[in-house]
Structure 1
Amino acid sequence: MKILYVNKNLNLSKPIVDQLIRMGFEVDVLIENLPQALDKSALVHKIGNIFSRLILKDKNYFIKKEKQLFEKFAEKQLKNKTYDIAFFIRADMYSEKLIKRVRKQSEKMVSYQWDGVDMYPKILDYYKYFDRRLVFDGNDIRKYSQYNLLSLPIYHYTENIFHDPAKEEFDLFYVGVGLDERIKWAYNIEDYSKENDLKFKAILTIPEFREEKKTKSVSLRHKGISLAENEKYTEKAKAVVDFKMSTHNGVAFRFFECLNQEQKFVSNNHNLKDYDFYHPDNIFITDFENFTGLKEFLQKPYHKIDRKIVEKYGIKNWLKYALDYGDYEPINLP
């Protein structure tokens, strides 16, 4: 079977594409490399931007031009091709014109939102083009019942890699985008760690206009780290930290990797208690203000979870369920 895979997150695409190939699909990746960025310094674009802002009262000149550039790139990639399945992750990132074109060239269309629907509600306008619509937040299924949404949390993709306590260099590790609330929470963990003789490391990516800062435990930096670097740091931590956003109740990527690797996890996501993989020795729930019991939690050994439950959330079963292909274990959300 031939599948078109569409996802602008190139960093997270490789495990999915590799698994699709192992499953026997002929995979056409629409975005293996993004088109060359628009040269904003070019005279024609400088003039176009000024005209757009002053005459048309439109401040989105460069955004629109970049979208046009991508559309031309995508049309060239899709020319004279047909697919058994088209699998979009975050279809809201594309134009309706592109979605309609792929619909005409595909037998089945599958959409997956790995962010809450309310964060990117444009997807609701596109659901009419999709045969299978999956979301990672159970609240979206209840809120938008008219769209017949299906549940699908995130997955883990590493194989036969288990956390080794002998490699631990610090107790807690976090990496992510440096939103103000997350930065505050990171400093809260730093204070708690100092008081309780714990080692904490946090890397938060901030925009260029904000000043880079670094303490003993927390690094606010402009440049993020690669997936490989993230895995190296994770390997050295006793527990991985997750700051759940208030806009969704889905479970983060980092958790499922910890589940697979048998590594402890600290989060403010209370919904973790409702899943079949939950155990209080493995998952510590906090509001990142009150850390009572965290040090004791870190001292307890990891409680092994039935591998059948763990494998259900692996990328192979995840893809089979997402695409409704072959035999799979359904993945339900609380």
Structure 2
Amino acid sequence: MTFKIVEIDKMENRRVVFFVPSFMGYEKSIDEALKQNFSDVKLFDQRSVQTGFGKALSKKFPRLLRKRNVGYYKSNVDSISFIPTDVVVIQGDMIEHETVQYMRKLWPEVKIRLYMWDNLQNLKGVETKISWFDSVSSFDPGDVETNDLIKFRPLFFSQDYANYAASNARANEVKYDASFIGTIHSDRNRVVSDIFQSLDHDATIFDYRYLQTRWIYFVYKMLKRDFKGSKFSDFKYQTLSAEAIADVVDQSNVVIDINHPKQRGLTIRTFELLAMNKKMITTNAEVKRYDFYNPANIHVIQRDKDIVVPKLFLQSEYVKIDEKIVNKYSITSWLFDILEIKNEI
């Protein structure tokens, strides 16, 4: 399977509304990219609930929030002061058919689009909603292969990361041999521990294992085997800003990336590292099928096997990737592809 970025219409006047989950500051990066490219834009959180408990409830029992979802979206739609040409929904687990119909009645010419940065297996009920949208894209090749209505579009890096790579002001001093910053889910805690333990004992590391709420730690402590010997202080309960993450990445020789075992799509961290010319250790073998893959930069491990990270890989220099390839994964290229605008970047 060859991954292609589909290029369609030429740039035209667009008025764009985004519903995007608030997550690790990526919604701010999208908002900035929208404002740089379009005069009329509006961005909302796609979730009608923002608390940890509410998010957990929406995943397990999404129908309980139906009325809340309808009211939340209607209130936001009614607040928009312009007639949009495009509405983009990221994830789509909290949008109802009634809402889509309301938008189409209010704006008869609007294109309503869905983008998924999680896969359908993790997005309860979204597969039944695909026919509601004018276009559907996903970061996960597995979903694309099983549904002809879904187009493939990988994730992106924000301008912050490109700026770090381009800046001559940074000395690029390495403080950490390896670093990890990410949300703990599935087997990620165990795999991260296994990777760190595989490194030389004198290796310097930065370890930021994030949990969405404090109570999740105690639930995991009771239910997950790899949490048995853990301490509350082993985890962080506040997200880092994009700038703080970029700082750590900039000061790391190698960055660890652990994909969800049910996902084949590449994480957003992969593209951030691409923008910053940084090497990566990853569990996702799918990366070998992308045009920027180079084994000198990306070391693939198996999450259930003994992990070996060659010392040479930790110490060697990054091999730069062609700029045209890198630019395909910028946030602006991603945005134009989602909106089906010919990308001439």
Give 1:87's aligned amino acid: V
Contact 1:196 1:295 in 2 (8 A): no
Match of 1:197 among 202, 210, 224: 202
Q: What count of residue pairs does the alignment treat as equivalent? A: 304
For 2:75, the equivalent position in structure 1 comes to 73
Contact 2:141 2:264 in 1 (8 A): yes
Of 193, 198, 206, the match for 1:187: 193
Alpha-carbon offset, residue 95 of structure 1: 2.4
TM-score by length of 2: 0.77
- 1:253 corresponds to which of 268, 273, 283: 268
State how 1:170-319 maps to structure 2 within 5 Å.
Answer: 170-179=176-185, 181-193=187-199, 195-206=200-211, 207-209=213-215, 210=217, 219-288=234-303, 289-319=305-335
Structure-2 change in CA distance of 1:172 and 1:70 (3 Å): same
Partner of 1:168: 174
CA distance in 1, matches of 2:47, 2:264: 31
Give the partner amino acid of 1:239.
Answer: V
Aligned sequence identity (%): 21
For the pair shown, which has the larger CA radius of gyration, 1 or 2? 1
Match of 1:17 in 2: 31
The Cα offsets for residues 261-285 of structure 1, whole Å up to 9 and x where unpaired, read as 1001110000101111000110010
Q: Contact (CA 8 Å) 1:239, 1:298: kept in 2 or not?
A: yes
CA distance in 2, matches of 1:103, 1:67: 17
| 1:5 counterpart residue number | 18
Q: Distance in 2 between matches of 1:103 and 1:225?
A: 38
Q: Which residue of the other structure, out of 126, 141, 144, is the alignment partner of 1:141? A: 144
TM-score under structure 1 normalisation?
Answer: 0.80
Structure 1 pair 179–28 and aligned structure 2 pair: CA distance change class (3 A): closer
Q: How far apart are residue 325 of structure 1 and its match?
A: 1.4
1:19 is paired with a residue of what secondary structure? helix
Higher relative contact order (CA 8 A, sep 6+): 2
Distance 1:69 1:201 in 2: 43
Distance (Å, rounded) in 2 between the aligned partners of 1:113 and 1:180: 19
CA gap of 1:165–1:290, structure 2 versus 1, over 3 A, is farther
Residue 27 of structure 1 corresponds to 41
The Cα RMSD (Å) is 3.1
- 2:6 maps to what in 1? none
Q: What letter matches 1:167 in structure 2?
A: E
Using the TM superposition, name which of 283-292 and 272-281 deviates more: 283-292
Within 2, Cα distance between the matches of 1:26 and 1:234?
Answer: 34
In the aligned structure 2, how far is the partner of 1:60 from the partner of 1:153?
A: 27
The answer (yes or no) to whether the contact 2:158–2:272 under 8 Å persists in 1 is yes
> Bigger CA drift: 158-167 or 106-115?
158-167
Aligned counterpart, 2:89: 88
CA contact (8 A) 2:46 2:92 kept: no
Deviation at 1:64, TM superposition (A): 6.1
Secondary structure, aligned partner of 1:16: helix
Q: Aligned partner of 1:309: which letter?
A: I
Looking at structure 2, the residues matched to 72 and 108 of structure 1 have their Cα atoms a distance apart, in angstroms, of 17
SS at match of 1:150: strand
The separation in 2 between residues aligned to 1:27 and 1:167, in whole angstroms, is 39
- More moved, 163-172 vs 206-215: 206-215
For residue 91 of structure 1, report the CA deviation from its aligned partner.
1.6
Following TM superposition, by how much is the alpha carbon of 1:292 offset from its aligned partner in structure 2, in angstroms? 2.5
Q: Retained in 1: the 8 A contact 2:40–2:82? A: no
